[in-house]
């Protein structure tokens, strides 16, 4: 199993906002690919600009680049037949992570999802963040959006790329082994397990081979899974929050932090750190919208500033701490600060310790707060209607019940 890397100063990391910046960079890299493309995403939607990413994958596969695509069985489900046929004809190898059975999400084991968004090209270039293959102006449930979805990703080179590639390679062969075993194709399953062992053995050599020394940008890849890396992302957040001296800015789509993370934010605010949260202000899902609000009270009482973003859907999972201080810290990734991400899903975040990168992310978040953030008034929050409080209590109770069913503590 690939492990989260420590910080190394051999990276170049560029911040990308929305599909308008990510997709062109992603397609350019795919069109220049020489050997292989590894791609994982929670949602792969072929509407509008999403189709251009699929076409880039097909162009690469058609010219002989080994191209592997893994999508989540809930976020994407079975690929649309016409696109599945096109991808197969072009030579793109596709796999669905944990497809749902007849009982759907009624089985708790099906709540463990592939939520990370990763792409590695030729083992040298990594794209990582919160952006699905989903056009910024399109939502599968809500249709055409008036304003683009707010989300971020990074384009990175350096030693963390091989770490991401290792994690994706191991997941690919694990999925092949499970598929072949279920189909009683035992020789193929054994071959997949052998490939999985080979991928683990060669990981150290590949990390050494793909370093990009001399770029002087400190960064690390932090992974979350349900085996050896159960709490790495949350711990990274808590350490950075605990070390904050001046400012914390977090933008998070589904914000339901556990007790330890809430206490870290409260303590930061009480010791004089300015804490600003940019959160979802537009109704998307019952649980995520209502279950989040009961945790706001203690934060507001401590002086935390909460802003709700409503022009479009907030999908960002980013944070920046002390961007203008001596120890800047920033993260961009797929992990929400909620139980699904921090306890159940496979996630991936890139953490960067670089002033220029942190200031870039800070300015973009401040712009979103100033132009589109609606500040939550503590008095108005305390006096919210009884019906709203009831919905919040129901949603929060359902969330706690779900955690109890899975045996998780949060």
Active site residues: 115, 117, 122, 315, 317, 322
Tokens of 237: 């957040």
Element (H, E) at 161: helix 160-182
Rounded distance between C-alpha atoms, residue 234 and residue 91, angstroms: 38
| Contact residues for 304 (Cβ-Cβ < 8 A; gap 6+) | 265, 266, 269, 275, 276, 277
In a 3-state reduction of DSSP, which class is residue 102? Answer: coil
Place of tokens 């990510």: 22
Rounded distance between C-alpha atoms, residue 89 and residue 333, angstroms: 32
Strands of 93-97's sheet, edge to edge? 12-17, 152-157, 125-129, 117-121, 36-41, 66-72, 93-97
Rounded distance between C-alpha atoms, residue 280 and residue 31, angstroms: 35
Rounded distance between C-alpha atoms, residue 170 and residue 176, angstroms: 10
* Contact of 127 with 153, CB cutoff 8 Å: yes
């Amino acid at each position: 199993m690939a492990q989260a890397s420590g910080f190394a100063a051999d990276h170049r990391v560029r911040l990308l906002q929305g599909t308008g910046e990510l997709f062109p960079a992603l397609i350019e890299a795919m069109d220049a690919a020489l050997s292989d493309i590894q791609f994982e995403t929670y949602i792969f939607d072929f509407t509008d600009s999403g189709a251009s990413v699929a076409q880039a994958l097909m162009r690469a596969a058609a010219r002989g680049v080994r191209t592997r695509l893994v999508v989540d069985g809930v976020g994407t489900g079975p690929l649309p037949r016409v696109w599945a046929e096109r991808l197969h004809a072009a030579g793109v190898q596709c796999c669905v992570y944990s497809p749902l059975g007849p009982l759907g999400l009624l089985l708790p084991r099906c709540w463990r999802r592939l939520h990370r968004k990763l792409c590695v090209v030729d083992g040298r270039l990594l794209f990582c963040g919160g952006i699905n293959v989903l056009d910024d102006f399109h939502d599968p449930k809500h249709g055409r959006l008036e304003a683009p979805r707010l989300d971020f990703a990074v384009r990175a080179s350096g030693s963390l790329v091989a770490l991401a590639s290792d994690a994706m390679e191991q997941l690919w062969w694990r999925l092949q082994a499970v598929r072949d075993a279920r189909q009683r194709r035992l020789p193929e399953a054994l071959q997949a397990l052998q490939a999985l062992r080979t991928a683990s053995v060669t990981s150290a050599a590949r990390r050494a081979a793909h370093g990009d020394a001399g770029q002087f940008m400190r960064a690390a890849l932090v992974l979350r899974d349900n085996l050896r890396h159960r709490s790495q992302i949350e711990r990274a957040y808590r350490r950075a929050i605990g070390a904050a001296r001046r400012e914390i800015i977090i933008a998070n789509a589904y914000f339901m932090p556990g007790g330890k993370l809430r206490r870290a934010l409260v303590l930061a605010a009480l010791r004089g750190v300015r804490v600003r949260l940019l959160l979802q202000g537009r109704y998307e899902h019952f649980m995520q919208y209502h279950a989040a609000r009961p945790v706001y009270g203690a934060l507001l009482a401590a002086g935390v500033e909460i802003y709700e973003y409503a022009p479009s859907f907030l999908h960002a999972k980013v944070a920046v701490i002390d961007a203008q201080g001596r120890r800047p810290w920033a993260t961009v990734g797929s992990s929400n600060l909620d139980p699904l991400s921090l306890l159940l899903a496979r996630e991936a975040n890139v953490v960067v310790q670089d002033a220029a990168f942190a200031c870039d992310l800070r300015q973009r978040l401040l712009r979103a707060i100033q132009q589109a953030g609606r500040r939550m008034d503590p008095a108005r929050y305390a006096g919210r209607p009884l019906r709203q409080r009831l919905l919040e209590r129901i949603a929060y109770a359902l969330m706690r019940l779900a955690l109890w069913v899975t045996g998780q503590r949060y």
